[in-house]
Each structure stands twice: as C-alpha cells, then as structure tokens.
Amino acid sequence: MSKLLRVFLALGACVALVSPVSAAPLAPGATVTPTLLSSFKVGNPGADATLLSPNATVTLNFTNGYTLREEVVRDVATGKLDFLYQISRTGNGPITSFDVTHFVLVDTNVFQVKDVTRAASGGGVTFATGTTPVATDTRSAVLGNTITFTLDPDSPLGSGQSTYTQIVKTNATAFDRLGTATLSNGDTVTGVLAPVPVPEPATLVLWGGICVGLIGGMVWQWRRRTALAGSAG
C-alpha cells in the first residue's frame, strides 16, 4: 500500500469519527431524507447537546391554527449550534410542508427525532411527542437560504398532532432572530432563531469565485454590447 493511499485512508477514518452518525448533509440545491434518530437528549449527563440561555427558545403562533416551537442548543461533539424545529396543529386544514430561512453560508446536516428528552434540571422548549415524520428536506439553490421540510402526502398532519422534531446541525457558533418560518399555505411568522454564518476559508474562496465569475460575465456582456454598438455606427 502506497504512503499516499495510507494518508487518504487515515483522513477518511478521522472524518468518520468526528461526523454525526449517518449524517445527511444538505447542500444548496439538494434534497435529502433527514436521518431518523432513536433519541436526542438535551442537558447533562450523557447529552447530545447542552442548553444555551433562555433567549435560545421561541414559541410562535401562526394565524391559522399552527404553532412553531424552536430551540437552539450546543452540540456536545462539535461545540457548534443545532437548531430544533417542530410544527403543531391545533385546527384548520392540513399543510404539506413548512420552511425556515437564514442559512446563507452555513453548513447543514439534517436529522429528526420523535422525542426530545431532557436532563432532570429541565429548561428549554417542551417539544411534543411527534406523530408525523418529515419525508424530505430541500435547501434552496445557489445561496441555500431556505430549508423546506416536506411531509409525506399520505401522512398529513392531523388536528392535535405534531411533526417529529427537526434537527439542523450547523457550523454556526452564534444566532440571531432574523429568520422566518412559512407554512405551505403561505402563513408566515418572523422572529425565528437563525444561525449567524461563519464561513470556512474554503467557502469564502468558493463564494469569491462565484462573485468574480458573475462580475466577469457582466463585464463581458457590457463590452460585447459596446463593441456591437460601435460596429453598427
């Protein structure tokens, strides 16, 4: 076995050790099935994530009989922030999906769990036991700002029921309240907790290349139009 091959195998093993089990990376423009976790515990001992300040939770009511519960926690393994979302229905017609925003320049891996358990000390949002899993997660193309959680059309969210808690693991270390959440029927709430982007150097290079390409294309089009106009005159 060559030395180079051994190095690649070692790097692969390291990535496997630090990556979440059966991670489902969600890149801009992609659609994936969120990984179903058997459990997710917030708060010591033996937690998957730890609590942040009381400001890291929101409960927002839509105008048509739906409620969004959200909490931001710190992942024990990575030290980065996880964003937890759940939609509960108290009335009106069913929805087929919901989305959340403000994920530009943020790495995301998506999971879901039926129950979020907590340490005896309590705190945080009380998520309901989920009745309805999400079938797929889709992230908007190019900038990747929006994540859409789509339900199975054969398993609509009934009155008095709740989605499984959706877990979006990120590389963010801070959050703000600039996000929005929108149901498939168009009802929207603001003040949703959202990650503050901390782009990696490679990400900055990627976005820099995209911007240079766009600017270059605009300059080329401008020069072409100028040349054509000159030849016509």
pLDDT, one tens digit per residue, over 61-70 is: 999 899 999 9
| Residue 1 tokens, joined | 């076995």
Provide the pLDDT confidence category of residue 75 given band limits of 50, 70 and 90.
very high
What's the confidence (pLDDT) of residue 230? 63
**210 strand-pairing partners:** none
85 shares its domain with 193 = yes
Query: What per-residue confidence (pLDDT) applies to 17?
Result: 36
Are 214 and 191 in the same domain?
no
Instruction: Report yes or no: 171 and 74 within 8 Å, Cβ to Cβ.
Output: no
Residue 7 lies in a domain: no
Indicate whether 215 pLDDT > 50. yes
Average pLDDT over residues 148-175: 95
Spatial CB neighbours of 70, under 8 Å, sequence gap ≥ 6: 57, 58, 59, 60, 83, 84, 85, 86, 125, 181, 192, 193
Q: In this structure, is residue 173 part of a structural domain?
A: yes
pLDDT for the residue numbered 5 = 34
CA distance 132 to 151: 8
Does the N-terminal peptide bond of residue 201 adopt cis geometry, omega within 30 degrees of 0? no
- Nearest Cα to 195, choosing from 181, 165, 167, 174? 174
Report the pLDDT value the prediction gives residue 45, as an integer from 0 to 100. Answer: 77
Instruction: Report the chain's mean pLDDT, rounded to a whole number.
Output: 84
Query: Is the distance from CB of 112 to CB of 133 less than 8 angstroms?
Result: yes
Query: Is residue 210 pLDDT above 70, yes or no?
Result: no
Strands 35-37 and 134-139 turn out to be unpaired
| Residue 118 counted as domain residue | yes
Statement to judge: residues 130 and 35 lie in one domain: yes
Q: Are residue 209 and residue 107 in the same domain, yes or no?
A: no
Number of compact structural domains in the chain: 2
User: Smallest Cα–Cα separation from 73: which of 184, 172, 190, 163?
Assistant: 172
Q: Are residues 117 and 49 in the same domain?
A: yes
Judged against a pLDDT cut of 70, whether residue 202 lies above it is answered with no
Both tokens of 154, joined, read 């054969």
- By residue range, what is the domain housing residue 213? 200-233
Whether residue 15 lies inside any domain: the answer is no
**Is residue 56 located within the same domain as residue 77?**
yes
Q: Looking at the structure, do residues 100 and 211 belong to the same domain, yes or no? A: no
pTM: predicted TM-score of the whole model, two decimal places: 0.78
Q: Is residue 179 part of a domain?
A: yes
Q: Are residues 179 and 213 in the same domain?
A: no
Residue 200 has pLDDT above 80, yes or no: no
